[in-house]
Amino acid sequence: MKSLKALNHPLSRVEQEIAVLDQPVEGKTFEGFLQEQALFPLKPTTIDILQINMGKMCNQVCKHCHVDAGPDRKEIMTRETMQHCLEVIRKHTIKTIDLTGGAPEMNPDFRWFIEEIRAITQTAAIIVRCNLTIIVANPKYYDLPEFFKKHRIEVVSSLPYFSAVKTDAQRGEGVFGKSIRALEMLNAVGYGVADSGLTLNLVYNPSGAFLPGSQQELEQQFKKKLADGYGIVFNALFTITNLPISRYLAYLMSSGNYENYMEKLVSAYNPVAAMNVMCRSTISVGWDGFLYDCDFNQMLELKVTAPDSQHIKDWNSEQLHQREIIVKQHCFGCTAGSGSSCGGATT
């Protein structure tokens, strides 16, 4: 399977995606919902999280990927851009550094970057969004669990279901089996094990055109099934709603589910979730150093509205704090039901 970009798919062009996402759903817009709550324009509350997308290169080609990542994507962050990120981490109080991709581990400077971050701060949380299969993809990655442990990385990994059929349908043939092997390796060094201090969180996102159910209940199911079936333990399950961007948008449209899915997101709008959206406390850094309100806006190439602080090398906290967050119809994905963020439900 290739990326939409490699296939020259119309939705690989952001102007096409935005043209779709600019259409109101039954006459309703996300902006309109925020206005009713006096939340528009949406403003940040703080900048606690720096989410850094280290590149679009990935060993998997998941059907729902909003990054359109894959082996054929060569866009990765340079060491120079990482140096700019380190400057920001050095000078500002960032509580969480959240490394994502693609598969961030495939960036040749990944380990160097983490070592440099830890040299600056021992207290900030460092999250790596690890797709699991990378750990068993090549012998050079086999020691990743030990590396993560040494630097007290929080590992967050997608596992859309506790069976091979559903997981492989979304993430590719054989992914479930490899993910279980990787989880065993993470467990073996202490990740997810009670009182180890090593956090392993899993991410559930629906394998289709439906919303995630109760995070608490799904977590209970996952814990029981993975423990009983495979002896796997983990800390928490994050439920994440699929946002209608890139490959997931292409799936929704080609399967005829787009309108129903959007109506479902709109009808499930939760005002409390709207107050807690993660873009209010996050800055997302693209592989090329540009700044965005979130990873989704990054993929839509909607740069932050801070005019003199659109790139990591030009970081200006004051402007970033005062910016207006860009919202479009995809934002309904973060406010549906119990809310959705990179840390799971928000209410």
User: Which range in 43-51, 134-142, 175-183, 209-217 contacts other proteins by CB under 8 A?
Assistant: 209-217
**Is residue 255 near other proteins by the rule CB under 8 A?**
no
Please tell me whether residue 217 binds other proteins under the rule CB under 8 A: yes
User: Which candidate, 305, 309, 343, places its Cα nearest to that of 156?
Assistant: 343
Site for other proteins contains 259 (CB under 8 A): no
Task: Report H helices in 37-91.
Answer: 79-91
Q: Are 207 and 165 in contact (CB under 8 A)?
A: no
Beta strands at 291-292 and 282-285: parallel, antiparallel or unpaired = antiparallel
Closest distance between other proteins and the C-beta of residue 65, in Å?
20
What is the closest distance, in whole angstroms, from the C-beta atom of residue 209 to other proteins in the complex? 9
Q: Among candidates 333, 299, 344, which has minimal Cα distance to 53?
A: 299
Q: Which of the ranges 13-21, 186-194, 205-213, 278-286 carries the binding residues for other proteins, by CB under 8 A?
A: 205-213
Pick from 206, 286, 289, 333: which binds other proteins (CB under 8 A)? Answer: 206
Residues 57, 211, 232, 266: which binds other proteins (CB under 8 A)? 211
The per-type count for the chain, helices as H runs and strands as E runs, is: 14, 8
Q: Is 214 in the site for other proteins (CB under 8 A)?
A: yes
**Residue 335 burial (CB count, 10 A):** 28
Residue 208 binding other proteins, by CB under 8 A: yes
Q: According to the 3-state scheme, what is the secondary structure of 222-238? A: HHHHHHHHHCCCCCEEE
Give yes or no for residue 160 binding other proteins (CB under 8 A).
Answer: no
Q: Which long-range contacts (CB under 8 A, 24 or more apart) does 85-88 make?
A: 85/50, 85/52, 85/113, 85/285, 85/312, 86/113, 86/116, 86/117, 86/120, 87/313, 87/315, 88/50, 88/312, 88/315
User: Judged by CB under 8 A, does residue 257 bind other proteins?
Assistant: no
CB of 266 to other proteins, least distance (A): 12
- Of 34 and 203, nearer to other proteins (C-beta) is 203
> Applying CB under 8 A, what is the total number of residues that bind other proteins?
16
Positions in the binding site for other proteins (CB under 8 A): 161, 163, 165-166, 204, 206, 208, 210-214, 217-218, 221, 263
